[in-house]
Amino acid sequence: MTKPGPRVLFASYSRLLGGAERVLLDCATGIDSAAVACPDGPLAQAARDEGLTVVVLGARSLEFRRSARDRVSAPARIAAQAKELRAAVRLQRPAVVFGWNMRGLLVSVLALRGLRPRPALVFQHNDLLPPGRAVASTVRAAALRSQRVVCLSRAIAEDLDPDGRLSERIRIVHPGVDLSRFTPGPPPGGADALCLGAIVTWKRPDLALEIASRAASTLPAFRLRLAGAPLDRAGERLLAALKRRAEQPDLRSRVLLEGATRDPAEALPQAGCLLHCADREPFGLALVEALACGVPVVAPASAGPREIVDPSCGLLYPPGDAARAAAALSDVLSSPARRAELSAGARARAERLFDRERTRMAYRELVAELTG
């Protein structure tokens, strides 16, 4: 007797394990009979560790716009993975396919074209559209071929659908975290801020160091912990520049470059606050993890962070404004009482809005809506 295939198949072009992929795992493990189709690598291994079935796809370059060669070869790479996914769908016969991220959507649209029976397609949209009218038009056209679009934030939804053509299909589902794993620890003794994320230009770790320089003038014991690792050669060059800047007199002995963090649930409770610097963060899972750990957040007043942080749990500053960010840090870390007030508000906000079980329920309801 043939074993039935998964009810839901999550399709990812990427093999990496970033924030969006951690959301994928949280959702897939909350749905009965789910599988993950992706290239072999960190995501596939994490899925196996969670007990999920993995359909291995071929690994292909993630670079679509860095060079003319990348742009020319991108359609062929999408088509090649779509062929593999199509074969997997024919074999597994899922009722629903989630095209995870923009590349996953493009692959899934091609893979499902003309299939009978055809599973329902959900576009899981986790990012703001990249610059360039052609890319935006392609993604929006592909999104129209899906039955539902799940966006991590209102900012992502508004960026994707400024004219409201997809409004009936869009669902905004904020990711949650495991509140039993991300928990507050004892109040930290020092005035430390943690900057958590990969060493990539758009995360603005350079701005974090300029903020630290200004914060040190009002917080004599202030230190910045920069936790993250480069993803590529550009990130390695950026890290080298950060090291040189950290050795300047105004920052010497105040900046700790810690490398990749094995477990944010262990690193976060030790921080006085989380400092976030990306000018346009689509959502910001690290911010939610911080709130669950009772860690106040200082972040730019734009995109995703505006939906996560309110005055009960942190402060927002104008994107790119080092002086205003430093003033916010000084406020948050000004006294144990102020920090404790914001810490309590952070945990309460996480419990109210960002419980992983609440997120999983939203995905279960969506699948039931499409299959019932």
pLDDT tens profile 131-152: 888 889 999 999 999 999 999 9
For 173-192, what is the mean pLDDT?
91
**Model confidence at 81: pLDDT above 60:** yes
Name the residue among 236, 226, 239, 229 with its Cα closest to residue 277.
Answer: 226
Give every strand in the sheet of 53-57, ordered side by side: 53-57, 34-39, 8-12, 96-100, 120-125, 148-151, 170-172
Express each pLDDT in 12-42 by its tens digit. 999 988 889 999 999 999 999 999 999 999 9
For 98-111, what is the mean pLDDT?
97
Report the DSSP beta bridge partners of residue 124. 100, 150
Is the Cα torsion angle 299, 305, 311, 317 positive or negative in sign? positive
Geometric angle at alpha carbon 310, from 308 and 314, rounded to 5° = 95
Tell me what pLDDT residue 72 has.
67
Query: Any residues with CB less than 8 A from the CB of 248 and at least 6 apart, and which?
Result: none
The lowest-confidence range among 73-82, 88-97, 161-170 is: 73-82
Tell me which of 19 and 99 has the higher pLDDT.
Answer: 99
For 48-61, what is the mean pLDDT?
92
283: its two tokens: 């959502």
Tell me which of 4 and 362 has the higher pLDDT.
Answer: 362
Tell me what pLDDT residue 334 has.
87
CATH 3.40.50.2000 location in the chain: 8-176+355-371, 191-353
- Whole-angstrom CA distances from 256 to 122, 159, 320, 330, 339 are 42, 36, 22, 19, 22
Tell me what pLDDT residue 135 has.
87
Mean pLDDT computed over every residue of the chain: 93
Express each pLDDT in 305-343 by its tens digit. 999 999 999 999 999 999 999 999 999 998 899 999 999
| Confidence tier at 10 by pLDDT (50, 70, 90) | very high
Tell me what pLDDT residue 60 has.
78
Taking the C-alpha atoms of residue 109 and residue 107, their distance in angstroms, rounded to an integer, is 6
% of the chain exceeding 90 in pLDDT: 84
**What is the third-level CATH fold of 8-176+355-371?**
Rossmann fold (3.40.50)
Express each pLDDT in 274-314 by its tens digit. 999 999 999 999 999 999 999 999 999 999 999 999 999 99
With beta carbons less than 8 A apart as the criterion, state whether 189 and 271 touch. no
For 104-111, what is the mean pLDDT?
97
| Confidence tier at 1 by pLDDT (50, 70, 90) | very low
With beta carbons less than 8 A apart as the criterion, state whether 125 and 160 touch. yes
Q: Name the CA dihedral angle for 276, 258, 244, 213, rounded to a multiple of 10 degrees.
A: 40
**Model confidence at 65: pLDDT above 70:** no
Taking the C-alpha atoms of residue 252 and residue 246, their distance in angstroms, rounded to an integer, is 6
The lowest-confidence range among 63-77, 125-139, 203-217 is: 63-77
Q: How far apart are the first and last CA of the chain?
A: 26
| Confidence tier at 165 by pLDDT (50, 70, 90) | very high
Is the Cα torsion angle 325, 333, 342, 312 positive or negative in sign? negative
H or E element that contains 316:
strand 314-317
Taking the C-alpha atoms of residue 283 and residue 153, their distance in angstroms, rounded to an integer, is 6
Name the residue among 59, 126, 46, 57 with its Cα closest to residue 91.
Answer: 57
Q: Can you identify the CATH homologous superfamily of domain 191-353?
A: Glycogen Phosphorylase B; (3.40.50.2000)
Express each pLDDT in 220-250 by its tens digit. 899 999 999 998 899 999 999 999 999 999 9
Geometric angle at alpha carbon 219, from 217 and 222, rounded to 5° = 105
